[in-house]
A and B are shown apart, each in its own frame.
Chain A
Amino acid sequence: MLPENLTAVVARNETWSGASATEPYEAGWAREAIVFVRALKEPKGALPKARIEISADGMHWCAEGSEFALPATRDAVTFQRLTHFGNFVRVAATLPDGAAITVLVTLHLKA
Chain B
Amino acid sequence: MTDIDTLRRAIREADPQLSRFDPLSRIICLDDFDRGMCGWTQLVGNYEDSLDAMLPGYAQHSHAMLSTLPNWDFGSHGGVDGSYALKIATRPRKGAQNVAIKRLTFRRAGPIRLEAYFTFKPEATDLLLSETDIRSFGFLYDLQIGDASGPGDRVMPHLRFLNAQDGEHIQRWQFKRRTTPIKPIGTAGKTITHYHLSPDDWENLPGGEQRLCYNEIPTKVNWHYLRFDFDLASMQATGFQVNDRVFSLESFDCIRIPAMKNLWCMLNLAFFAETDTDKRAFAYLDSVCLSGEF
Query: Which residues on A are within 8 Å of B, measured CB to CB?
Result: 1, 4, 6, 8-13, 23-29, 40, 56-60, 87-88
Q: How far is the CA of A11 from the CA of B59 in the complex (A)?
A: 9
Q: Which residue of B lies closest to A22 (CB)?
A: B62
B25 close to A (CB within 8 Å): no
Q: Which residue of B lies closest to A28 (CB)?
A: B68
Pick from B44, B67, B123 the residue with the most CB of A within 10 Å: B67
Q: A8 to B65, Cβ gap below 8 A?
A: yes
Can you report 21 residue pairs joining A to B where beta carbons are below 8 Å apart? A6-B66, A9-B62, A9-B63, A11-B62, A12-B44, A12-B51, A12-B59, A13-B51, A13-B52, A13-B59, A23-B91, A25-B63, A26-B67, A26-B87, A28-B70, A29-B84, A57-B70, A57-B71, A57-B72, A59-B72, A88-B70
B109 close to A (CB within 8 Å): no
> Chain A contacts of B123 at CB under 8 A?
58-59
Q: Which residue of B lies closest to A59 (CB)?
A: B125
- How many positions in chain B have a CB within 8 Å of any CB in the partner chain? 25
> Chain B contacts of A26 at CB under 8 A?
65-68, 70, 87
B80 close to A (CB within 8 Å): no
Q: B54 to A13, Cβ gap below 8 A?
A: yes
Query: Which residues on B are within 8 Å of A, measured CB to CB?
Result: 35-37, 42, 44, 51-52, 54, 59, 62-63, 65-68, 70-72, 84, 87, 89, 91, 123-125
Q: B62 to A23, Cβ gap below 8 A?
A: yes
Q: Which residue of A lies closest to B58 (CB)?
A: A12
Q: What is the distance, in angstroms, from B266's C-beta to the closest C-beta of chain A? A: 23
Q: A13-B52, A26-B70, A57-B72 are in contact. Are A1 and B35 (CB under 8 A)?
A: yes
Q: Which residue of B lies closest to A88 (CB)?
A: B70
- Chief secondary structure at chain A's binding surface: loop
Q: How far is the CA of A58 from the CA of B72 in the complex (A)?
A: 9
Q: How far is the CA of A6 from the CA of B44 in the complex (A)?
A: 16
Q: A24 to B66, Cβ gap below 8 A?
A: no
Q: A29-B84, A57-B72 are in contact. Are A4 and B36 (CB under 8 A)?
A: yes
Query: Which of A6, A24, A40 is in CB contact (< 8 Å) with B89?
Result: A24
Q: What is the distance, in angstroms, from A14's C-beta to the closest C-beta of chain B? A: 9
Q: What is the distance, in angstroms, from B250's C-beta to the closest C-beta of chain A? A: 40
Q: How far is the CA of A13 from the CA of B36 in the complex (A)?
A: 27
Q: A23-B89, A23-B91 are in contact. Are A8 and B72 (CB under 8 A)?
A: no
Q: What is the distance, in angstroms, from B198's C-beta to the closest C-beta of chain A? A: 20
> Chain A contacts of B65 at CB under 8 A?
8, 25-27
Q: How far is the CA of A59 from the CA of B279 in the complex (A)?
A: 11
> Chain B contacts of A9 at CB under 8 A?
42, 62-63
Q: What is the distance, in angstroms, from A13's C-beta to the closest C-beta of chain B? A: 4
Q: Which residue of A lies closest to B282 (CB)?
A: A58
9 residue pairs, one from A and one from B, having the closest CB atoms = A57-B72, A8-B63, A13-B51, A4-B36, A26-B65, A26-B67, A29-B66, A23-B62, A10-B62
Q: How far is the CA of A88 from the CA of B66 in the complex (A)?
A: 11
Q: A4 to B37, Cβ gap below 8 A?
A: yes
Q: How far is the CA of A9 from the CA of B124 in the complex (A)?
A: 24
> Chain B contacts of A29 at CB under 8 A?
66, 84
Q: A23-B89, A57-B71, A87-B68 are in contact. Are A10 and B52 (CB under 8 A)?
A: no
Pick from A57, A59, A60 the residue with the most CB of B within 10 Å: A57
Q: Which residue of B lies closest to A6 (CB)?
A: B37
